[in-house]
A and B are shown apart, each in its own frame.
Chain A
Amino acid sequence: MVFGELDADLKQKISAHLDECEKCRAMHDDMAATVKIMQEAFQNEPAQVFEPAYRDAINEEIRESLQSQSPTGKWRRFMSTLNRPSLTPAKVLWRMAAVFVALLLLAGLLTTPTLKKAFEGSSQLSFEQEQLDNNHAVEDAKRAMPGPPSEPPPVAKPKREAVATTLEHGRLARSAGRETTARNRPQGADSTVGGDTLLAEAATMPAKEAESRAPDAAKNKLAITREDTGEKAGISFDDYEESGKMALSTRAKIVPPAGIRKSDEAQLPAQTESKALADIAGTRSSKRRNEAGQTIVRPDTEPTAADLPAAKESGGKSVFRAPRVNPFVLTESDRYSTFAMDTDTASYMIARRYLAQNQTPPAGAIRVEDFVNVFDYNYPTDTDRIFGIFADGAPSPFRKELKLVKIGVQGRVVGRANRKAAHLIFVVDTSGSMDQADRLPLVKQSLNLLLDQLDDEDWITLISCDTEPHLLLDAVPVKQAPQVRKRINSLQTGGSTNLLGGIKLAYQIARRAFRTGGVNRVMLCSDGAANVGPTKSDELLEQVAEYRQQGITFTSIGFGIGTYNDEILEKLANKGDGTYIFIDSLAQAREVFVEKLAATLQYIAKDAKIQVEFNPLQVRRYRLLGYENRDIEDDEFRNDSVDAGEVGSGQSVTALYEVELRSPTGSKEAENATDLATVYVRYRDLDTGKVEEVSRKLGADIILDRKRDSDPRFFLAACAAEFAEILRGSEYASGTSLTEIVNYLEKISAALPLDDKVRELLAMVRRAKALKPTGGE
């Protein structure tokens, strides 16, 4: 690149000189290497976008400059259109009618009390919510969103803007939604932030003219939507158009749409109320359905305490993004809690890795469910049924006023003999960043370990992937082990990362050499430091999701820490019906590829979901610990096309709920209702391909006053979850200190002397405590 722009002649001369002169050669090489590092370094930098305040200022300026000349011009143009000879009287009439209708709507809009009501309602709501669930996250949300609550909604601005508002309301609402997005993700890399309100401003031309441009504008809108569907920026325009009735962009801004017809107007308050219910319940899931069956879409990016450290962390470092922390939900308003099963444990491994380096793991890397699922809770396995449901409960060890309910779902064990033949397609990232002891060398060791475990009937494909993908082994039977081994051991690093290319190639081969009735699995071994922008990673995700339908699954195996991009690896695994594993040591590799090979390779069920229905007569409110990014809409539980979790042979999933029980009211109903909750598990049996559902009622008798010595595993789960909560900075754990957890774990460790994992957790908590001089107090 240094000499990239010289003409060929000069280049030749220089390279000739370089061949001769050692000193110049060395200098040239150094410079070339410097350029390369610099390029990588710049690429690694997070992209910057305008802060909302700046973007707004630009919009404001443009709005003013447009308005300064518009009123007279508009009027003159309007008059002149009437005089045009080409206009027939019919056309004139039609246009006048159009203007008249527009004015009527406008008047209706300004006088209608609905707006005012809606606005008042929403601000009241957030107040009530604070009182109700004492949820500090709300305050955080407000802090992170200065302005909106006190700002009048855009429509409240009079006349001049009203035309634009009625025509472009959707976009205004959208842009408001996007502001939140941008605020939460200051480093958002793509063009999510753009001056779309500019378009709205530009539309402050006469109504009829804007009408004629409407189709064009609509196209623009859709283009914008398509741009950031991957980002799931708050409001999907499609949804908006469909419901055509209501867009909730932020808690405080409710923008009613243009063509409000009378019937719609009548519905608006009702919808606001039903939103109110959802809000009071403190449910902040991204989508909820109201009674009218319309989707209310809200930004999925409400800031949480956990978001902030995550954002900081991504300043050129590993990219972790924290999901929001589940809030308490009032059982009366939403008795269902639904989520996809998730057996990943990567988050725990990453935290372990950080702590081993004497660093506090970034809050964004912590997923509570991963911490809980690391441990073995000794659920009995039943060979007849695919899933068994187990539950126990006790007063919460860390929050006395609450009860902790532990729900475990244990999968059947498939014997080694029953394992299906597999075609494993390994995509190994051999880019420069993998050139560290805990990356490529560990990948090689892991693959060699795996090779010992595979059967002769299994096939293996090996693709190395740097600047270009290279096909090293093409569906070779494992019995040709020497050749396979040789190829694996010859992997070398260099170049940038073209993961997209590698994965594409992998799927091509997976499709070509598809094993019907077997396991077809693409396995990505990477540090996740792919030089792919967000648009590309969306493309990647789409592809993975598409092939999932065809029976090719995807597993992410993360290696190394540092440039490690947790988010993309997890997303890939989630989309591809796969698991996400993090390997940081040979011991861990042995666990994944030797001890738990069946679980890693052989799934017993897919699209497995759990729904817990709490009994409002018994349970006042509940909170699910973790599983935030595994959230499923309650009424999607029996929709079998929803992508949910996969469960490997013998794996178990444990979920913890914090619940507050109702104090006995003495009413007859309450006496009769002894069930706390009902657990439903729905999944597709991978052997038969049929969807099945099992359920179990949980009686109030599961909650006992348990002791650490007699029920150590219950407290182990509680400690693991609490540790994760503290690490991710959850408000709910603010009253707990790491010292308390250490105290519990010491007892548990004594009660479970054979469980290495408990000792490891204890060591981790101690390490974390040492890093935080306050001990988390």
Chain B
Amino acid sequence: MKKNQDTRSDQVAAADHTAAVALKSMMDSFQSPLLGYVTKLIGSRQSAAQDIVQEVFLRAFRKMQRDGQNSIKNPRCWLFRVAHNLAMDTGRKRGRQKNMQDTLMHDPVTQGNIFPGSTAADYAVDRDEMYKLALQAVDELPEEQRNVVLLKIMQDMTLKQISEITGLKIGTVNYRLTQALRSLAEKMKKVGFFET
């Protein structure tokens, strides 16, 4: 009888220990992707994203402590699902809406080079500028499209994983993704990419 009790308390301690260890490895592997995803998803100050991801890890810890380390079978999906839900709850009051057109009007072409070998054409298109525009275009997607794009392209997930995380049907995910890509492609085209 007494022995049983001891074993149980041993197990509790062991569970705490392993939960902490498991959480550490989770944090190592997933904090960057999660922070990246949530930041892009809610598009507000970084601290909000940090708040959310912190809560995600704490929930993971509590769950592992309660139900054992193996209770989270697929950490990636689990973490992203919780993060997604939390972000959806808080992300409604998004304050940032940049006007893409304004940025596009900005032309980095230089004038009056004093140094040899540098012509204005060199700087006309900058790869970074393009990336910036691409990310902005993602920001401007409606929320339900944005999250599938982020999961698919940024996190490189399968449609099935996305459907698990967002709770949508695979068909819906696929539809939204296609819509999003189409509108993205159009935006990029408007800006003058893909001229051949």
Q: Do A and B bind each other?
A: yes
- The segment from A63-71, A269-277, A484-492, A606-614 that touches chain B is A63-71
User: Do A41 and B134 form a contact, CB below 8 Å, given A33-B194, A73-B13?
Assistant: yes
| Contacting residues, chain A, for B127 (C-beta < 8 A) | 432-433, 436, 529, 562-563
Asked if B117 contacts A588 (CB within 8 A), the reply is: yes
| Contacting residues, chain A, for B28 (C-beta < 8 A) | 191, 194
Contact with B189, one of A30, A38, A196, A198 (Cβ below 8 angstroms): A30
Asked if A34 contacts B58 (CB within 8 A), the reply is: no
| Contacting residues, chain B, for A205 (C-beta < 8 A) | 13, 17
Task: Give chain A's interface secondary structure class.
Answer: helix
Asked if B61 contacts A62 (CB within 8 A), the reply is: yes
Contact with A50, one of B3, B50, B125, B188 (Cβ below 8 angstroms): B50
| Contacting residues, chain A, for B6 (C-beta < 8 A) | 76-77, 80
Asked if B115 contacts A352 (CB within 8 A), the reply is: yes
Instruction: Give the size of the chain A interface in residues (CB under 8 angstroms).
Output: 72
Asked if A31 contacts B27 (CB within 8 A), the reply is: no
Asked if A39 contacts B153 (CB within 8 A), the reply is: yes
Contact with B158, one of A5, A195, A438 (Cβ below 8 angstroms): A5
Please, how many angstroms separate the alpha-carbon atoms of A291 and B125 in the complex?
57
A100 close to chain B: CB less than 8 A: no
Distance in angstroms from B172 CB to nearest chain A CB is 15
Asked if B135 contacts A41 (CB within 8 A), the reply is: yes
A672 close to chain B: CB less than 8 A: no
Please, how many angstroms separate the alpha-carbon atoms of A529 and B131 in the complex?
13
Please, how many angstroms separate the alpha-carbon atoms of A508 and B113 in the complex?
43
Please, how many angstroms separate the alpha-carbon atoms of A44 and B28 in the complex?
20
Q: Which B-chain residue is minimally distant from A85 (CB atoms)?
A: B3
A260 close to chain B: CB less than 8 A: no
A722 close to chain B: CB less than 8 A: no
- The segment from A53-61, A87-95, A540-548 that touches chain B is A53-61
Distance in angstroms from A690 CB to nearest chain B CB is 42
Asked if B117 contacts A194 (CB within 8 A), the reply is: no
Please, how many angstroms separate the alpha-carbon atoms of A65 and B13 in the complex?
11
Asked if A196 contacts B24 (CB within 8 A), the reply is: yes
Q: Which B-chain residue is minimally distant from A216 (CB atoms)?
A: B21
B65 close to chain A: CB less than 8 A: yes
Please, how many angstroms separate the alpha-carbon atoms of A323 and B187 in the complex?
41
Asked if B13 contacts A77 (CB within 8 A), the reply is: yes
Q: Which of A587-605 contact B (CB under 8 A)?
A: 587-588
Contact with A38, one of B17, B153, B186 (Cβ below 8 angstroms): B153
- The segment from B31-39, B81-89, B90-98 that touches chain A is B31-39
Asked if A34 contacts B9 (CB within 8 A), the reply is: no
A202 close to chain B: CB less than 8 A: yes
| Contacting residues, chain A, for B184 (C-beta < 8 A) | 31, 34, 38
| Contacting residues, chain B, for A202 (C-beta < 8 A) | 16-17, 20-21
| Contacting residues, chain A, for B62 (C-beta < 8 A) | 65
Asked if B118 contacts A438 (CB within 8 A), the reply is: yes
A35 close to chain B: CB less than 8 A: yes
Asked if B35 contacts A199 (CB within 8 A), the reply is: no
Q: Which of B31-52 contact A (CB under 8 A)?
A: 31-32, 35-36, 39, 46-47, 49-51
User: Do A47 and B189 form a contact, CB below 8 Å, given A202-B20, A584-B117?
Assistant: no
Asked if A358 contacts B36 (CB within 8 A), the reply is: no
Per-residue A-contact encoding for B154-190, CB less than 8 Å = 1, 0 else: 1000110000000000000000001001101110110
Please, how many angstroms separate the alpha-carbon atoms of A57 and B2 in the complex?
37
Per-residue A-contact encoding for B91-126, CB less than 8 Å = 1, 0 else: 000000000000000001010011111110111011
B10 close to chain A: CB less than 8 A: yes
A98 close to chain B: CB less than 8 A: no
User: Do A50 and B117 form a contact, CB below 8 Å, given A38-B138, A66-B20?
Assistant: no
A45 close to chain B: CB less than 8 A: yes
Q: Which A-chain residue is minimally distant from B128 (CB atoms)?
A: A562
Distance in angstroms from A433 CB to nearest chain B CB is 5
| Contacting residues, chain B, for A356 (C-beta < 8 A) | 110, 113-115, 118
A49 close to chain B: CB less than 8 A: yes
A241 close to chain B: CB less than 8 A: no
Contact with A37, one of B3, B31, B134 (Cβ below 8 angstroms): B134
User: Do A70 and B24 form a contact, CB below 8 Å, given A34-B184, A37-B131?
Assistant: no
Asked if B23 contacts A47 (CB within 8 A), the reply is: no
Distance in angstroms from B181 CB to nearest chain A CB is 5
B149 close to chain A: CB less than 8 A: yes
A642 close to chain B: CB less than 8 A: no
Please, how many angstroms separate the alpha-carbon atoms of A201 and B49 in the complex?
26
B71 close to chain A: CB less than 8 A: no
Per-residue A-contact encoding for B53-82, CB less than 8 Å = 1, 0 else: 110011001100100000000000000000
Please, how many angstroms separate the alpha-carbon atoms of A763 and B149 in the complex?
47
Asked if B131 contacts A35 (CB within 8 A), the reply is: no
Asked if A358 contacts B110 (CB within 8 A), the reply is: yes
Asked if B57 contacts A58 (CB within 8 A), the reply is: yes
Asked if B128 contacts A58 (CB within 8 A), the reply is: no
User: Do A49 and B31 form a contact, CB below 8 Å, given A65-B65, A202-B21?
Assistant: yes
| Contacting residues, chain A, for B16 (C-beta < 8 A) | 65-66, 69, 202
Asked if B126 contacts A562 (CB within 8 A), the reply is: yes
Q: Which of A14-51 contact B (CB under 8 A)?
A: 27, 29-31, 33-35, 37-42, 44-45, 47-51
Asked if A38 contacts B118 (CB within 8 A), the reply is: no
Q: Which B-chain residue is minimally distant from A353 (CB atoms)?
A: B118
Contact with A33, one of B47, B125, B185 (Cβ below 8 angstroms): B185
Asked if B31 contacts A62 (CB within 8 A), the reply is: no
Contact with A198, one of B13, B20, B118, B182 (Cβ below 8 angstroms): B20
Asked if B24 contacts A767 (CB within 8 A), the reply is: no
Contact with B117, one of A42, A436, A586 (Cβ below 8 angstroms): A586
Name 22 interchain pairs, CB-CB below 8 A, sorted by A: A2-B181, A31-B182, A37-B188, A38-B134, A41-B130, A48-B39, A49-B35, A50-B35, A58-B27, A58-B58, A77-B10, A77-B13, A80-B2, A80-B3, A357-B123, A432-B127, A437-B119, A437-B122, A438-B117, A529-B127, A562-B126, A562-B128
Which 6 residue pairs spanning A and B have beta carbons closest together? Answer: A585-B117, A48-B35, A191-B28, A41-B131, A30-B185, A202-B20
Listed in ascending order, the chain B residues whose CB lies under 8 Å from chain A are 2-3, 5-6, 9-10, 12-13, 16-17, 20-21, 23-25, 27-29, 31-32, 35-36, 39, 46-47, 49-51, 53-54, 57-58, 61-62, 65, 108, 110, 113-119, 121-123, 125-128, 130-132, 134-135, 138, 149, 153-154, 158-159, 178, 181-182, 184-186, 188-189, 193-194
